[in-house]
Amino acid sequence: MNETPAYHPAEIEAKWQAKWDADGLYHSDIDPNKPKYYALTMLPYPSGDLHIGHWYAMTPSDARARYLRMKGYNVLFPIGFDSFGLPAENAAIKRSIHPKEWTFKNIENMRKQLRSMGAMFDWRREAVSADPIYYKWTEWFFIQLFKHGLAYRKMSPVDWCPTCNTTLAREQVWGDDRHCERCETPVIKKDLDQWFFKTTQYADELLNFETIDWPERVRVLQTNWIGRSEGASVIFKTEQGDPLEVFTTRPDTLWGATFMVLSPEHPLVERIATPECKAAVIEYQAQAARQSDIDREAADKEKTGVFTGGFAINPVNGARIPIWIADYVLMTYGTGAIMAVPAHDERDFAFAIKYGLPIIPVIDRPDGMNKSLVFPGSTREGFAAALQAAGLAFTAQPVGDLGEGLFVTLRREQVDEYVALLRSYLKPGNWNEIVGSRWLFIFEDQVMSLSSVETDQAILARCKAIDPAVSANRTTMEMIQHLPFYQDVLFHAEYGTMNNSAEMSGTPGETAKKQVIARLEAQGIGKGAVNYKLRDWLISRQRYWGAPIPMIYCAQCGWQPVPEDQLPVLLPDDVEWKPTGESPLKLHPTWKDAACPCCGGPAQRETDTMDTFMCSSWYHLRYLSPLYDQGPFDPAEYDYWMPVDTYTGGIEHATMHLIYTRFFHKALRDMGVTEGHEPMLQLRNQGMVLGEDHEKMSKSRGNVVAPDALVEKYGADTVRAYLMFFARWDMGAPWSYSGIEGTVRWLRRLWALSADQQPRQSTAGVETLKTLRRKVHQTLGSVTRDFDNFEFNTIVSSLMELLNEMYKAREAGAAGSAEWAEAWDIYLRMVAPVCPHVAEELWAMAGKPYSIHVQPWPQVDQAAAAEESITLVLQVNGKVRDRLVVPVNISDDEARAAALANETVQKFLAGRDPKKVVVVPGKLVNIVG
């Protein structure tokens, strides 16, 4: 028996990588004669080791880039390093190695690892964000944003990580306990003077995804993150005469505002608080300030607050309403003050019940439901029978140990009839109430409606007079909310017809909001307004290893940008990076000293550095011309390559990098630096590779898969193919060491077939060759489609299937034929994007011209791919009973006849006449009988 020639990936991979490199095979240069394609994969952070996740993100992206190149595109697929950031500094502190040295050593190592992928990276375009030739332009961008009013400095409470000793952006604070994204330490609040970018100015535009093909998931995440709400801003007045502006999404509930709540930090609190209340207010403010966000924002926490002693005037009805402070109102959203409408807001309801504040319903229930509980003994004999006779729904159940009560449920239009009936049966010294859609309290002599603060108290007073047991209640709502039967009708937050709202009563829910806003605007007491959860981007970091913020502070001239001809502001190498909570640059003896660019007098540099998301917001532009020194990028390169056609990477950046980079592009567009509205037209996210134990990979779990070791054992081609094969790319899956064996077997079988293409029989039958060709072109069709759709797993599986077919064809004598030669040629071209080294080697062994990677993608021969016969499925009552092989062009009538004549079909029909015969051309016949 012949020795099977061995497949030695290590040899061929090193060989071809060296040759491709020497030949500049993957250089991407402007070529006006070809359509361009900018394929971008998220740039890695140089942590020191390439993770299997990097391979999972990058190698399918590379395969697709290669495919597009074979399709005739001029493809740019660059790589670089996001090389500023905290880990370098943390490593520096831990191991006493300079962050710069640590970073650039890691980059050196990772370059080697990246090269082992055999990806088509054009290394001439590599960009390293920690390199001064890069961050010079990061600084330049800061200055442009400053000059265009998009960067500003503000003292504000910010999230501070006590371990990393720096501020964090909102996006970098994670989880219920609000911990630091990097080190998991819970963050604290700190008041600091910080630089911000005005991302909020672009909030509305960022919500528009019309021109980009991004996953629904990311669009939803960004939309929620931006958190747009439409409503109105309304100006109340304090009794002292200060305007007190609130934002509300429900201006239609304005008449139900029975109190106001300010954030404890609200600037007006001091003026509003009366002398009697001041002590309590100050105490509450101090407590709120002491509390971390963790306590303050705990979801299930009971609401707390204190009365300021002050009152405001509701501008729509002149009502005098108390002003409270409570920490459930956040200073950072809206105006830091709310009008509280307890009847239609869950939080306000809970607060009002707790503190005995009035609750007045002003929006009808859309379902019109009402409830009434008739206490035992409160009505004369025969009331239940009368209800029954009137067709009003109720159940009779015991009320505590008082005896049997009637639990009545009424539709809106039944209320009047019920009231009349009840009044005729109500015993003296009792009352009854109807709650839900309408709020009526029935006494022997009158019916009172809960429609205002005054009626609230009047009703309560009468009830207390009748029943001393309710005397402890402060409001009518507090009194009745003790009855469980009423729980579900006391409060609702839906839109509905306005009531108890003076002349606006009766306005239907669909138009209420609009009409109230119009009224507010006409009266000059408010206007339509939009609010966002999105905040401005906090970019100051009190750390060393980042791009310096190129600003100088002069006591005379204020903040001045460093003149552009003095860029870059270089990071000094001789710093002490021990963590102190101050920027290390501040502790440098001379670095911060500068001359004011304006007056030339002594001034000081900004010692904070920039958030690294600033660096990664524009790296796709630096790739275009990483050595260019006339600007951040060469306009000629920009004009040819931009925008990015496909961007691939992890979903974890949905609300950080991917919002920042869009903001950045739009801001630059408005400055005339970039063109178009979006930087990346198409986005696709890969899933995550889990450990074999189905858990997230981590060193502590010991389930980390090391790509270097895999490459050494199996070769890069196998690792690439397996990563494409083992899961849906967008889903990810647990790693499997035994699974990868299947992929290496496939490549060995491919190798073996290449080495032994001797005909097994003298001639192959016509059918054999036809079948081979059909399968080849069908596979080509599906592989092509799958590349277009990012369905990498089925690319590899259909290649495996075709190889199995080719083995069969060889046994059947196909080897040596023209069909076989074509099959082999197409097969290698299809393998090329997935396993570039094996494909190149076998291509060369087949005596074909170097390089397979510059060959065109083959064309599907539709005629060859077409089936000649089909398997016609025969169903009886929807169940498969038999199958017939028939010509593909069989007519419906012929199919029907063949089905009806079929023995098995007859058997299952059991003599019944077919009621209906469904013929699906080319697929099946279903006989209903």
Report the alpha-carbon distance of residue 671 to residue 667 in Å, rounded: 7
The distance of closest approach from Cβ of residue 828 to RNA in the complex, given in angstroms and rounded to an integer, is 18
Cβ distance to RNA smaller for residue 572 or 914: 914
- 209 belongs to the binding site for RNA (CB under 7 A): no
The strand ranges marked E within 827-897 are 869-876, 879-887
Binding to RNA in span 771-790, by CB under 7 A: 781-782, 785
Report the alpha-carbon distance of residue 409 to residue 395 in Å, rounded: 9
Binding to RNA in span 522-581, by CB under 7 A: 531, 533
| From 422-430, 569-577, 851-859, 878-886, span contacting RNA (CB under 7 A) | 878-886
Q: Which of 333, 407, 485, 486 binds RNA (CB under 7 A)?
A: 333
User: Helices 739-755 and 716-725, interaxial angle, to 10°?
Assistant: 120
Helix-strand-coil split of the chain, %, nearest 5: 40, 20, 40
Contact status, residue 692 vs residue 811, Cβ threshold 8 Å: no
- Kindly compute the dihedral angle of the four CA atoms of residues 507, 513, 517, 523, in this order, to the nearest 10 degrees: 30
Q: Which of 117, 338, 659, 716 binds RNA (CB under 7 A)?
A: 338
Q: Which of 153, 748, 848, 896 binds RNA (CB under 7 A)?
A: 748
Binding to RNA in span 851-870, by CB under 7 A: 870
Cβ distance to RNA smaller for residue 646 or 655: 655
Task: Tell me, letter by letter, the H, E, C secondary structure of 1-22.
Answer: CCCCCCCCHHHHHHHHHHHHHH
Cβ distance to RNA smaller for residue 209 or 553: 209
The distance of closest approach from Cβ of residue 745 to RNA in the complex, given in angstroms and rounded to an integer, is 4
Cβ distance to RNA smaller for residue 4 or 397: 4
- 755 belongs to the binding site for RNA (CB under 7 A): no
Site string for RNA, 2-21 (x = CB under 7 A): --x-----------------
Report the alpha-carbon distance of residue 296 to residue 331 in Å, rounded: 13
Report the alpha-carbon distance of residue 415 to residue 480 in Å, rounded: 18
Cβ distance to RNA smaller for residue 161 or 924: 924
Cβ distance to RNA smaller for residue 218 or 273: 218
Between the alpha carbon of residue 316 and those of residues 237, 254, 358, 452, 514, the distances in Å are 11, 7, 18, 14, 15
Q: Which two tokens stand for residue 754?
A: 């290449």
Cβ distance to RNA smaller for residue 512 or 642: 512
The distance of closest approach from Cβ of residue 652 to RNA in the complex, given in angstroms and rounded to an integer, is 7
The distance of closest approach from Cβ of residue 461 to RNA in the complex, given in angstroms and rounded to an integer, is 30
The distance of closest approach from Cβ of residue 93 to RNA in the complex, given in angstroms and rounded to an integer, is 27
Binding to RNA in span 607-666, by CB under 7 A: 651, 655
- 334 belongs to the binding site for RNA (CB under 7 A): yes
Cβ distance to RNA smaller for residue 671 or 755: 755
| From 108-116, 145-153, 241-249, 577-585, span contacting RNA (CB under 7 A) | 241-249
Report the alpha-carbon distance of residue 670 to residue 202 in Å, rounded: 11
Q: Which of helix, strand or coil describes residue 200?
A: helix
Cβ distance to RNA smaller for residue 733 or 846: 733
Q: Which of 807, 856, 868, 887 binds RNA (CB under 7 A)?
A: 807
Site string for RNA, 673-712 (x = CB under 7 A): ----------------------------------------
Q: Which of 64, 125, 136, 250 binds RNA (CB under 7 A)?
A: 250
Binding to RNA in span 279-308, by CB under 7 A: 296-299, 301, 303
Cβ distance to RNA smaller for residue 622 or 720: 720
Q: Which run of H or E residues covers position 417? A: helix 415-425
Binding to RNA in span 417-476, by CB under 7 A: none
Q: Which of 725, 790, 820, 857 binds RNA (CB under 7 A)?
A: 725
Q: Which of 538, 881, 895, 905 binds RNA (CB under 7 A)?
A: 881
Q: Which of 22, 33, 176, 400 binds RNA (CB under 7 A)?
A: 176
Between the alpha carbon of residue 54 and those of residues 105, 122, 674, the distances in Å are 19, 17, 29
- 216 belongs to the binding site for RNA (CB under 7 A): yes
Binding to RNA in span 570-589, by CB under 7 A: none
Binding to RNA in span 892-911, by CB under 7 A: 904
Between the alpha carbon of residue 391 and those of residues 311, 386, 394, 418, the distances in Å are 48, 9, 9, 10
Q: Which of 797, 816, 822, 896 binds RNA (CB under 7 A)?
A: 797
Q: Which of 65, 680, 800, 839 binds RNA (CB under 7 A)?
A: 800
DSSP structure string for 506-517:
T--HHHHHHHHH
| From 71-79, 671-679, 729-737, 758-766, span contacting RNA (CB under 7 A) | 729-737
Binding to RNA in span 342-381, by CB under 7 A: 345, 347
Residue bearing tokens 């970073």: 103
Rg of the chain, C-alpha, whole Å: 37
Q: Which of 217, 271, 354, 514 binds RNA (CB under 7 A)?
A: 217
Report the alpha-carbon distance of residue 827 to residue 814 in Å, rounded: 15
Tell me, what DSSP letter sits at residue 98?
-
Q: Which of helix, strand or coil describes residue 73?
A: coil
Contact status, residue 845 vs residue 896, Cβ threshold 8 Å: no
- 888 belongs to the binding site for RNA (CB under 7 A): no
Tell me, what DSSP letter sits at residue 302?
P
Binding to RNA in span 184-203, by CB under 7 A: none
Q: Which of 741, 767, 788, 892 binds RNA (CB under 7 A)?
A: 741
The distance of closest approach from Cβ of residue 44 to RNA in the complex, given in angstroms and rounded to an integer, is 20
| Parallel/antiparallel/unpaired status of strands 127-128 and 80-81 | parallel
Q: Could you tell me which of 234, 187, 191, 227 has the C-alpha nearest to residue 207?
A: 227
Between the alpha carbon of residue 551 and those of residues 133, 297, 664, 673, the distances in Å are 19, 36, 19, 21
- 514 belongs to the binding site for RNA (CB under 7 A): no
Report the alpha-carbon distance of residue 395 to residue 406 in Å, rounded: 6
- 926 belongs to the binding site for RNA (CB under 7 A): yes
Q: Is 525 left (phi over 0), alpha (psi -120 to 50) or beta?
A: alpha
Q: Which of 848, 883, 886, 914 binds RNA (CB under 7 A)?
A: 883
Q: Which of 211, 274, 871, 891 binds RNA (CB under 7 A)?
A: 871
Cβ distance to RNA smaller for residue 153 or 347: 347
- 875 belongs to the binding site for RNA (CB under 7 A): yes
Q: Which two tokens stand for residue 412?
A: 């809106």
**Residues touching RNA: how many (CB under 7 A)?**
90
- 182 belongs to the binding site for RNA (CB under 7 A): no
Between the alpha carbon of residue 124 and those of residues 43, 83, 715, the distances in Å are 15, 18, 25
Binding to RNA in span 374-403, by CB under 7 A: none
Residue bearing tokens 């009697």: 276
Q: Which of 727, 809, 815, 838 binds RNA (CB under 7 A)?
A: 727
- 804 belongs to the binding site for RNA (CB under 7 A): yes
- Kindly compute the dihedral angle of the four CA atoms of residues 824, 826, 830, 831, in this order, to the nearest 10 degrees: 20
Site string for RNA, 832-851 (x = CB under 7 A): --------------------
Cβ distance to RNA smaller for residue 444 or 892: 892
The neighbouring-strand residues paired with 527 are 233
CA-based torsion, 919, 920, 923, 928: positive or negative = negative
Binding to RNA in span 28-87, by CB under 7 A: none
- 105 belongs to the binding site for RNA (CB under 7 A): no
Report the alpha-carbon distance of residue 224 to residue 217 in Å, rounded: 11
